[in-house]
Chain A
Amino acid sequence: MGKRPPGLAVLAPPRDLRASRVAADGDEYLLLSYPLPDWDLPAILSLAEKDVARALLAGAAQSQIARVRGTSSRTVANQIASVFRKLRVTSRMELAARYSGGESGLRARGD
């Protein structure tokens, strides 16, 4: 097993985490909530590309995006390729890592 990077030993709570406990019939339940991602996509993308990128980042499959947008799967594939090319990423995970919100969004791969 490799060395653990400094400061990454444990998972810190998500930003704006809210917590409360619920008492019900003698049992105890915990309610946690945190904001869903607010993707900070650059203006270089067209509106259609932004829509496709947001759907991609929400975990939708290519075929699902095509169905929702009423286009062909091939069109969505082209739009995804265009998004990746413009933003210089190679996967949706890299896309998420780079544009997961504001200035704090990470720049992966040594950017």
Chain B
Amino acid sequence: MPPSAVVTAVDACYALLGTERQWIEGLTRAFSPMLDAGFGVAGWAFGVGEWTWDGQLPVGVDSNFGKAMWEAAALMSDEQLLRCFTTGRVTSGAERLGLTKGMDEEAFGGPLALLGLKDLRALTVSDATGRGVALASGLSQPYRTSRREADKLERVSAHLLAGFRLRQSIARIDAVHEPGGRSVHAEGEARQPDHQESLVRAVKAYEQAHGARSVSNAESALEAWEALVAGRWSIVEQFESDGRRYLFARRNPPEAPRGSPLSPVEAHVLLLRAQGLTYKLIGYELGITATTANRVARLGMRKIGVRQDIELPALFRGQLAAALAPLRARSADR
């Protein structure tokens, strides 16, 4: 599994905007390099204890596979279903059900066997209420999850759960507060179910409550920026509204694989790029190749939520103007 596959999957977990179905479709595509064994990756939301088929088949797979999974589920006892959705986050279907020769040794495996499937590789996460999301792929042979694979997928599934919880919670953001702790409640309209609208309204409720930026708020913004640059937060979503770019970041747990701070070299490359220098010239300046300069810039941009390098000059013009002023003055004196 290439490292880029993990990055793609983690990014898909935090796609906060759009409908649940769009999110799950994105997940099935992003997790495909990790899970797909030739039959596609199925994804669906579930609620433990309320297993009902409302006519919605899993997304990401053809309808035959989707129907077969539902038919298999319909043949399972409640206890077996519960084991499918609560026994660990990353195991095969047969492992979850305690079967050694594949799911087709039980009656419920029949619908799957008709498609040549003997097992499913499944990744499920759920919150404290029992609601969650499942991703599964079909396997033509019984499968045992290796320790190494389970460890790797466990790390990704932690992001899947975080993304799921975040999506659930954005719709009911209950408070926006300053770093100092004072709360500003985003009530009424901010509680609408549409995630993007909720987020935008919560931010605007905060900004309206504070009006013009005071010195203390500017200091708070500076603290927040420094924390972002230091890698204590990871950007999980960004959007534009009313002429502003909004970045939405999650606090990194200490053991998080992401969240490395912006290095001095990355900062230096970004500032040189912001001056309009080509990567070739930046390479000359820093004694690195143009390709390396480009790669370093992309890493740096990712860390501070900049999509394209064309945005850099405007973003850092104040800093660059201040830094270059003495040089210009010296140049004018000559």
Contacts and interface: CB of A to CB of B under 8 A. Distances in A.
A24 B169 contact: yes
Given A20-B176, A33-B247, A108-B275, A96 B203 contact: no
Contact of A19 (B221, B240, B250): B221
B175 to A, nearest CB: 5
Interface in B169-217: 169-170, 172-179, 199, 202-203, 206-207, 213, 217
Interface of A: 1-2, 4-25, 27-39, 57-59, 91-98, 100-101, 104-106, 108-109
B313 interface: yes
Contacts of B304: 11
Given A24-B166, A31-B246, A106-B313, 4 more contacts: A18-B207, A28-B250, A31-B248, A104-B318
A102 to B, nearest CB: 9
10 contacts: A1-B265, A11-B319, A16-B213, A17-B224, A21-B176, A25-B165, A31-B199, A33-B246, A92-B310, A94-B276
A96 B306 CA distance: 15
Interface residues of B, number: 80
Contacts of B290: none
A92 B276 CA distance: 9
Contact of B287 (A2, A12, A20, A105): A2
A96 to B, nearest CB: 5
Contacts of A105: 313, 317
A29 B311 contact: no
Interface string B302-316: 001101111111111
